[in-house]
Structure 1
Amino acid sequence: MAENSYDIAVVGGGPGGYVAAIRASQLGFKTAVVEREHLGGICLNWGCIPTKALLRVSEVNHILSELDKFGFTAKDVSFDVSKVVKYSRDTAKTLTQGVTHLLKKNKVDVIDGHGKLAGKGKVAVEKDGKKVADVQAKHIILATGARARALPNVEPDGKVIWTYKEAMVPKAMPKKLLVIGSGAIGMEFASFYSDMGVDVTVAEVVDRILPAEDEEISDFAKKSFEKKGMKIHTGAKVTGVKTNKNGATAKIETAKGKTEEIQVDNIVLAVGIVGNVENIGLDSTNIKVEKSHIVVDEWLRTGEPNVYAIGDLVGPPWLAHKASHEGVICVEKIAGLNDVHPLDTSRVPGCTYCRPQVASVGMTEKEAKEKGHKLKVGRFPYRGNGKALALGETEGMVKTIFDEKTGELLGAHMIGAEVTELIQGYAVAQTLETTETDLMHTIFPHPTLSEMMHESVLDAYGRAIHF
């Protein structure tokens, strides 16, 4: 059994853990990562990256379905499900290998196994039920991530009722699919399968889809998906599911109190996540857990001295880039750097890669009003943008929210083609504490989709040029 001493030991090699480890090594700390399964975590292996590969495939399928619009004709176009899945898995594998290379390049030791706290400054590592290493560390960072939440009356079986993992590797395309939950994960799967020709129904317990987004954007998205043929039930509960030889029968209690029964081939559960707090040695510590997530302060410190937690393990927003940023903050604070700032979660951009894409940063209009701001709100539609017209992507809008008195950019919300690539502009603007005047004086290149960002700002102050 190996015994090793380190300055920093990270338990979990996902986008929070491996980034924290690399930054720690850059700062001169002797560092190790303990990972039980796949470097890159859920994000690279079963989340962010492979799902985007699938969504790219469905986007291609959608484009093929409307070739006539661009002057093309194609006959007998078809797809091979196994090759679609292989493309997604190969994409994930390439990036996972890249993480392995980065850790090696930065001289971070990788210890294969399940790590758990085992006393002050100690992590015990097990593999296949046997202890393989005792790791001593001055500082321990927990980055064990989270997993899909289950419903008490809908238990995934891996065959008919899927979690995100099974939904990413179908052996055949279902003809009918029920997606339970309409957050980012749910709507990405709904969008993928719909664009691949599947009859998709979405059931959401709250009164709108994408409930974390601005209400105007949620409404726009719902109308867009319904126009594409998706059936969406909001304010609805799935009260029971029975699997059978043909798939599953689901009972949906609608917002009007009526119960509908639908027969589907498969069901995807996308009802949130819970933190991986079990079996990591928390019991004999002062670490506090609330609603399946570890409680930390602004510097990611737990209640146990020199033990920290980052990423999905500590709560929302459950995003890879938030986890990575927390990893850097945590390590730089340990190193005593002077220019470290606590994470402001309101400035973490969120992206949903459905079609149309959705992206946002900052407050929604409702949140801004509830906090007492008097607002200036601007909007600009995709149909008024030359680049969008040239791309054949005229569905969408950009919305910006400013404080009337100070000109502070409080929030930005977008729906449409490539908005996940555009939102960083507003994220940078918020970090720089940019006002409406700064944005108005910025020259945006033409013809680009980014011009809509400029026009939306101008519209908030009655100065839009092209609409």
Structure 2
Amino acid sequence: MVYDLVVIGGGPAGYVAAIRAAQLGKKVACVEENRAGGTCLNWGCIPTKSLLRNAELYHIVQQRGEEFGLKFDHLSFDWTRVISRSRKVSDRLAGGIEQLFRKNKVDYILARGSVPQAHVVEIVDRDNKRKALEASRILLATGVVPREMVGLPFNYKTVISSKQAMVLPHLPEEILIVGGGAIGIEFAYFFNAFGARVTLVEVMPNVLHLEDTEVSEALATSLAKQGIRLLTNTRVEQAEIKGGSVCLTLFGKEGKMVLQSPTVLVAIGVSPVLPPGMSFELDRRGYLKTDDYYATSVDGVYGAGDIIGPPWLAHVASYEAVQAVNGMWGSSKPKRTSVFPSCVYCQPQVASVGVTERDMREKGLQYRIGRFPFHASGKALAVGESEGFVKLIFGEPHGELLGAHIVGSDATEVIAELGLAITLEATFHDVIDTLHAHPTLSESIKEAAEAAYGLATHI
């Protein structure tokens, strides 16, 4: 039997591509080495959100219970259940994807896949049995893995990645996190909320350095108030394991310092996972190089998702997968996206879409900024989450919305409207003419738009 499409990888790019091709009437197989859902569902996006929800609830009750009229004697937590809840959520959703495969008649194959030659996928199952699958087209969606730090490889005990951080058998009394991106920040919040002493080291001037500077600085201030020690502009010069601890020599704004911790979480980025077999043309960073149709340098082989490079986001991976499949059998050229939301799920949350103010300044473009603080929002005050703000960037002279940045409670939910507005090329007038329900956090969007033109009512 010859498949129309064999997908290697069952994550947000792989499983979505397989289902979309099946919906188009194609004979499809999806080869996944571990479990449906990939890193996102099993060891990334989903289980971390479960853990962060646990942390948020515990933090609110412990630190702010009296504010809400709540009293608890001897408040505590069950660490085993904190972890197990996240695993149950992942298990349930992974099973859901397997059901979707059955519903759409996708052959789901638990095996390791390689591409020994064009139009052939070789699979090796868990019993080490080999089999060759013929395919008219092959899609590589093998994703990425955590990147190791030079001089401090993972030993999965004292030096861990995000995967081990999700299932630690006990809450560490102290943890040192290297890397101030989304993963590092989320775990810093998580462990700190449950009482661990957290130090985070970031080589760049700000945590979340790709975000708007104003947002990054606001988040850093909030995390520091929560008790997280942030060392920005600080690099790791030397690392060694001494006994049961890790010793890091750092150099930063405060000069040279030596920190020791029983656990170090390395969250400095990711590395691509290339399937064995044929050689493919790669970009300068080692990611799979694809053309406008998501095609690789090998005839009939395509790529989508994290394996083709940043931004390494599940929703972008799924979008690319659909576009790649549509390009294979559609009548129009597939699309690439440059407008996508970025979300960080600590508290306060951070979400953004479009350009930053830094981008506008560097390009020498004219713009207006509108801000609205959540402490002026009735809904934010009512629910006790008045920290943060909405910041909107409008181009001049036409007033089109170009960028949106939020730090605050539920920022990751509110951002979707702004992504739609940018996609539709909405202007300042479109935003303020859209009625927003009261009281909601989303009405802060309208207020921020009005503030850009001196028309805000509530500030």
Tell me the TM-score normalised to structure 1 length: 0.96
Match of 1:332 in 2: 326
State which drifts further: 153-162 or 54-63.
153-162
Query: Do the aligned partners of 2:61 and 2:70 also contact (CA within 8 Å) in 1?
Result: no
Q: How many angstroms does 1:408 deviate by? A: 1.5
Q: Does 1:49 align with 2:49?
A: no
Please, which of 236, 257, 262 is the counterpart of residue 260 of structure 1? 257
Match of 1:112 in 2: 110
- Which residues of 2 match residues 242-257 of structure 1 at below 5 A? 242-256=240-254
Q: How many angstroms does 1:289 deviate by? A: 4.2
Number of aligned positions between the proteins: 458
**What secondary structure is seen at the aligned counterpart in 2 of 1:370?**
helix
- Which residues of 2 match residues 388-399 of structure 1 at below 5 A? 388-399=380-391
Q: How many angstroms does 1:161 deviate by? A: 1.0
Match of 2:353 in 1: 361
Query: Do the aligned partners of 1:359 and 1:419 also contact (CA within 8 Å) in 2?
Result: yes
Tell me the TM-score normalised to structure 2 length: 0.97
Please, which of 256, 278, 281 is the counterpart of residue 277 of structure 2? 281
- Aligned mates of 2:250, 2:440 — CA distance in 1: 43
Match of 1:212 in 2: 210
Gaps of 5+ in 2: none
Please, which of 166, 176, 186 is the counterpart of residue 174 of structure 2? 176
Amino acid at match of 2:444: M
**What secondary structure is seen at the aligned counterpart in 2 of 1:250?**
strand
Q: Does 1:385 align with 2:383?
A: no
Match of 1:151 in 2: 149
Match of 2:399 in 1: 407
Partner deviation per Cα, 1:420-449 (whole Å, 9 max, x = no partner): 001000011111111111111000000000
C-alpha RMSD of the superposition? 1.3
Q: How many angstroms does 1:132 deviate by? A: 2.6
- Which residues of 2 match residues 430-449 of structure 1 at below 5 A? 430-449=422-441
Q: Does 1:343 align with 2:341?
A: no
Q: How many angstroms does 1:341 deviate by? A: 4.7
Partner deviation per Cα, 1:53-75 (whole Å, 9 max, x = no partner): 00000001111111100011111
Amino acid at match of 1:428: L
- Aligned mates of 2:236, 2:386 — CA distance in 1: 35
State which drifts further: 367-376 or 182-191.
367-376
Q: How many angstroms does 1:369 deviate by? A: 2.3
- Aligned mates of 1:212, 1:271 — CA distance in 2: 14
Q: How many angstroms does 1:128 deviate by? A: 4.7
**What secondary structure is seen at the aligned counterpart in 2 of 1:222?**
helix
Q: Does 1:193 align with 2:185?
A: no
- Aligned mates of 1:365, 1:394 — CA distance in 2: 23
Amino acid at match of 1:309: G
- Aligned mates of 1:59, 1:188 — CA distance in 2: 11
Aligned pair in 2 of structure 1 residues 238, 129: CA closer, same or farther (>3 Å)? Answer: farther
Gaps of 5+ in 1: none
- Aligned mates of 1:97, 1:36 — CA distance in 2: 15
**What secondary structure is seen at the aligned counterpart in 1 of 2:296?**
coil
% identical aligned pairs: 40
Query: Do the aligned partners of 1:368 and 1:410 also contact (CA within 8 Å) in 2?
Result: no
Q: Does 1:453 align with 2:445?
A: yes
Partner deviation per Cα, 1:324-377 (whole Å, 9 max, x = no partner): 000000011111244x651222x0111000111000000111112223320011
**What secondary structure is seen at the aligned counterpart in 2 of 1:38?**
coil
Partner deviation per Cα, 1:120-162 (whole Å, 9 max, x = no partner): 2111111358343211111110000000001112211111111
Q: Does 1:321 align with 2:315?
A: yes
- Aligned mates of 1:107, 1:298 — CA distance in 2: 29
Please, which of 413, 419, 437 is the counterpart of residue 427 of structure 1? 419
Query: Do the aligned partners of 1:213 and 1:360 also contact (CA within 8 Å) in 2?
Result: yes
Query: Do the aligned partners of 2:324 and 2:334 also contact (CA within 8 Å) in 1?
Result: no
Amino acid at match of 2:342: G
Q: How many angstroms does 1:245 deviate by? A: 4.1
**What secondary structure is seen at the aligned counterpart in 2 of 1:53?**
helix
